[in-house]
Amino acid sequence: MDKKRLKCLGIIFLAAAFAVTAGFAIQSRHQAAQYRRLLDTGYRHAFAELATAAGELDVSLQKAAYATSPALFSVLCAQTYAKASAAQAALGELPYGNVELEQTASFLAKTGDYALSLAGAAESGQACTQEHRDTLQALAQSAGELAGLLQGIESDLSAGTLAPESLEEVRRRLASAGQEGEQVESGSAFQTAEADFPEVPTLIYDGPFSEHLSNRTARMLEGLPQVEEAAAREAAAAFLGLRSDIFTLTSSGEGALPAYGFTALVDGGELYVEVTKQGGQILQLLSARPVGEEQLTREEGYEAACAFLSSRGFRNMEPSYSILQDGLLTIHFAPREDGVYCYPDLVKVQVALDTGAVAGFEAHGYLMNHGSREPGAPAVSAVQAQAQVPDSLTVLSSQLALIPTGGEDEVLCHEFKCQSAAGSHVLIYVNAQTGRQQRILLLLEDETGTLVL
């Protein structure tokens, strides 16, 4: 084959290669454009759903504020919760909504939970007060203003005057906004909406978003003095039976329960301990030591956990449920006082079944809630309360128990552990004062332990 022919063939192959490469590039560009169109369509749909749900939330709140019938009021509050949940679901479909619309997400969560709390109270026979109605009206006004802001953004999206941003674009803009000296890029409609976010009324109720909970103090720490770092280090060492000089301060938190954080290298793994700044109490313990092959049974793990708590001054603690994963047995404990099992005073203990050493400990619930109580005698007997258990369930056992509400309150209940016809277990809680069902929990049980839903 002569050189001229070889040269021609080379040119042909090179041209073919360029053509194939160009074809792939065009196809990739087409796929990217199609993906972007799908992304924009999904974005606009989610935003439209969010704006619509916010408007419906406003209407539902107004209706609830005007309702005088307890039954209708309960229904309308439940509908309000559903509208808030729908808005939260739409917000979750936006790739960065919970970051850019942080105030909106918080407002929807608080409003939904507040409405659900009022619905439950109405079902229990509690009257809706004028204060409740004023709060609902204020929430309705905030929801209406929010809906107006969102509908304005939706109109701009539909008209094409505002283009949806990709997740990468938002990440880049947020990253540049956090860098000193960088110009914050404009173009985020979310930032405008958040800057103009309406004023939200203060919510005081028995729920997790109530404003009064932010100032709540730990009952077990009331009246105790503040401790310095050195005293906290000594407390951590004494709790674990170790030398204090191996602990290094790694954090000094100022959250809801301020605590010192210490680390130490123990048995080939890092140990982390938190000690409260007030009172010097152990808040939590975590061990990163690798766990070897199990040498202890689950029962022996229970015994090790009980002995650990008893030696640290935790009295009358009884286990409730546990789970075993990767050689670590985690057990939930709570105290029994005057025959009443106190679930709010929860303590978690984790035992490594290779050595029986405690690998984890958490006492937040105990420190926040444990103290003197006067729950009073139940107005409803266990026999009377059992009438609230459906006939389809077989009662296996019962006990008096204090259970926490959504906020900081506690309710004395008859707890019935029941079994369904299918063999699954259910916990039915009947209010010991009203005789009405208070809560229902499902127990998911397998070889690893029990999960409560």
Q: Is-contact 170 188, C-beta < 8 A?
A: yes
pLDDT at 142 over 50: yes
Structural domain contains residue 284: yes
What's the confidence (pLDDT) of residue 127?
Answer: 75
**Beta strands, E only, 288-381:** 317-325, 328-337, 340-342, 347-352, 358-362
Structural domain contains residue 2: no
Structural domain contains residue 429: yes
pLDDT band at 37 (very low <50, low <70, confident <90, very high): very low
Structure tokens at 315: 């009295």
pLDDT band at 189 (very low <50, low <70, confident <90, very high): low
Q: Which residue has the higher pLDDT, 428 or 4?
A: 428
What's the confidence (pLDDT) of residue 415?
Answer: 94
User: What's the CATH code of the domain at 277?
Assistant: 3.10.450
Looking at the fold, whether 391 and 438 belong to one and the same domain comes out as: yes
Average pLDDT taken over every residue of the chain: 80
pLDDT at 165 over 90: no
334-390: per-residue pLDDT in tens?
Answer: 999 999 999 989 999 999 999 999 999 999 989 988 988 887 889 999 999 999 999
Looking at the fold, whether 188 and 232 belong to one and the same domain comes out as: no
Structural domain contains residue 78: yes
Q: Which residue has the higher pLDDT, 70 or 449?
A: 70
Of the candidates 237, 352, 353, 229, the one whose C-alpha atom is nearest the C-alpha of residue 287 is: 352
Angle ∠(364,365,366) on CA atoms, nearest 5: 90
The number of folded domains in the chain is 4
DSSP per-residue letters across 108-164 = HHHHHHHHHHHHHHHHTTPPPPHHHHHHHHHHHHHHHHHHHHHHHHHHHHHHTSSPP
Looking at the fold, whether 144 and 165 belong to one and the same domain comes out as: yes
Q: Is-contact 367 281, C-beta < 8 A?
A: yes
Structural domain contains residue 120: yes
Looking at the fold, whether 82 and 159 belong to one and the same domain comes out as: yes
Domain that holds residue 150: 13-215
**Beta strands, E only, 366-409:** 394-404
What's the confidence (pLDDT) of residue 227?
Answer: 96
Looking at the fold, whether 300 and 284 belong to one and the same domain comes out as: no
What's the confidence (pLDDT) of residue 101?
Answer: 72
Question: In angstroms, how far is the first alpha carbon of the chain from the final one?
Answer: 80
The residue written with tokens 């053509």 in the block is: 19
Looking at the fold, whether 49 and 109 belong to one and the same domain comes out as: yes
Looking at the fold, whether 367 and 392 belong to one and the same domain comes out as: no
SS3 of residue 189 by DSSP? helix
394-435: per-residue pLDDT in tens?
Answer: 999 999 999 887 666 788 999 999 999 999 999 999 999 999
Mean pLDDT lowest for which of 258-267, 272-281, 383-392, 436-445?
436-445
From 372, 392, 417, give the residue that closes a domain.
372
From 163, 185, 215, give the residue that closes a domain.
215
From 235, 263, 290, give the residue that closes a domain.
290
Looking at the fold, whether 330 and 302 belong to one and the same domain comes out as: yes
Looking at the fold, whether 352 and 269 belong to one and the same domain comes out as: no
